[in-house]
Amino acid sequence: MDRRSFIKKAGLATGAAAAATLAAPAIAQSMPELKWRMASSFPKSLDTIYGGAEVFTKYVSEATDGRFSIQPFPGGELFPALQVADKVQDGTVEMGHTASYYYWGKDPTFGFGTSVPFGLNCRLQNAWWFAGGGKEALNEFYADYNIVGIAAGNTGGQMGGWFRTEIKSLADMNGVKMRIGGFGGLIISKVGVVPQQIAGGEIYPALEKGTVDAAEWVGPYDDQKLGFNKVAPYYMYPGWWEGGSMLHVFVGKDKWEALPRSYQAIVEAAGAYSNDWMMAKYDVLNPKALRELVAGGAQLRPFPQDVMEACFQAAADTYAELTASNASFKKVYESMAAVRGEGYLWWQLSENGFDSFMMGQQRKKLL
């Protein structure tokens, strides 16, 4: 009996179909059907940040033919938006999409995953994360919270916010009541600003009534939706407390370790896609919003040099205190600072040389 007729008689399919049948149990094992929930810290109205979660989950689903399905939930839908880390930690949800610096109150080391005052721009945050030890340093820290962090988005350099009166020198900062949270709020308080915590939807009335004198949010595209230019015309820059804010997918560490390596690889790569997509989206959306804001009365003003220098010094002093008292902070800070110092050495040549010339041509309307 030749081999072909034996196979036929044994009732086995031939060729590709047979191979598929034999390989199937192994594939099914490495591609379990999972239905996970991802809690975002952001409302749907922040469509670019929230969109990062949608892009991420779409890629994971497509890559697995729907077998690894992750449903994103807007901030606040499952639980308060700023509890994402806690709810990933305790297993209420398998995943979150959030800014690590929201959890800065637990330990200031959480700040580095997003951005810290006078830290890194978007590209150097990526450099640190993907090739400079950032991913490893922060995940060692996150492990204590049962969290694995995956890079998944960036807002770029944020604006310094909206001020009812112009800031012309450091003295003008004294006593300004400003809506600004977290680490940035701590640093800016050291130059006399009184930081306030106000939810997004309540900023406009507070600025209008003068309950606060200033408020920072994100950048032109997101700020425009809230209409701040009508009540606080001075739009200051740069937002030195957020030089390039990275978003994370947080995964429960126990859940992460139980994933097959194939799903881990898919999640990491989908995070990178979301990382590129979100920054790209902001860079395409911000300029139009900026032009419209200026047409609508926004007055663009750089923070005066003495403000920048005083805030830098306040940040440096704070880093010195925290590195002395907090071993995790010290380890992660030193890892970040090494990339920052080196990065801004190199940045002065071709990157800045090219950009400076191109900005000059833009101002001459030659682009």
Q: Binders of its own copies among 121-160, rule CB under 8 A?
A: 121-124, 126-132, 151, 156-160
- In the three-class reduction of DSSP (H, G, I as helix; E, B as strand; rest coil), residue 354 is classed as helix
Q: Which of 175, 25, 183 is nearest to 108 (CA)?
A: 183
Q: Report how far residue 176's alpha carbon sits from residue 196's, in angstroms, rounded to the nearest whole number.
A: 10
Q: Which is nearer to its own copies, 89 or 184 (CB)?
A: 184
Token pair 């379990």 is found at 32
- Residue 116 near its own copies by CB under 8 A: no
Q: Which of 249, 263, 252 is nearest to 91 (CA)?
A: 252
Residue type, 115: S
User: Which segment (71-79, 96-104, 199-207, 348-356) binds its own copies by CB under 8 A?
Assistant: 348-356
Return the residues of window 210-269 that contact its own copies according to CB under 8 A. 219-220, 237-240, 243, 260-262, 264-266, 268-269
In the complex, the smallest distance separating the C-beta of residue 31 from its own copies, rounded to whole angstroms, is: 6
- Residue 349 near its own copies by CB under 8 A: yes
Q: Which of 172, 128, 131 is nearest to 154 (CA)?
A: 128
Which of 275, 304, 314, 332 is the binder for its own copies (CB under 8 A)? Answer: 275
In the complex, the smallest distance separating the C-beta of residue 115 from its own copies, rounded to whole angstroms, is: 10
Q: Report how far residue 25's alpha carbon sits from residue 14's, in angstroms, rounded to the nearest whole number.
A: 18
Contact predicate 223/216, CB 8 Å: no
- In the three-class reduction of DSSP (H, G, I as helix; E, B as strand; rest coil), residue 174 is classed as coil
- Residue 286 near its own copies by CB under 8 A: yes
User: Which segment (81-89, 97-105, 174-182, 343-351) binds its own copies by CB under 8 A?
Assistant: 343-351
Q: Which is nearer to its own copies, 108 or 132 (CB)?
A: 132
Cis amide leading into 238 (omega within 30): yes
Which of 41, 57, 64, 146 is the binder for its own copies (CB under 8 A)? Answer: 64
Return the residues of window 3-32 that contact its own copies according to CB under 8 A. 17, 19-21, 23-31
Give the pair of three-digit tokens for residue 363.
Answer: 């101002």
Which of 6, 14, 33, 35 is the binder for its own copies (CB under 8 A)? Answer: 33
- In the three-class reduction of DSSP (H, G, I as helix; E, B as strand; rest coil), residue 260 is classed as coil
Q: Which is nearer to its own copies, 39 or 150 (CB)?
A: 150
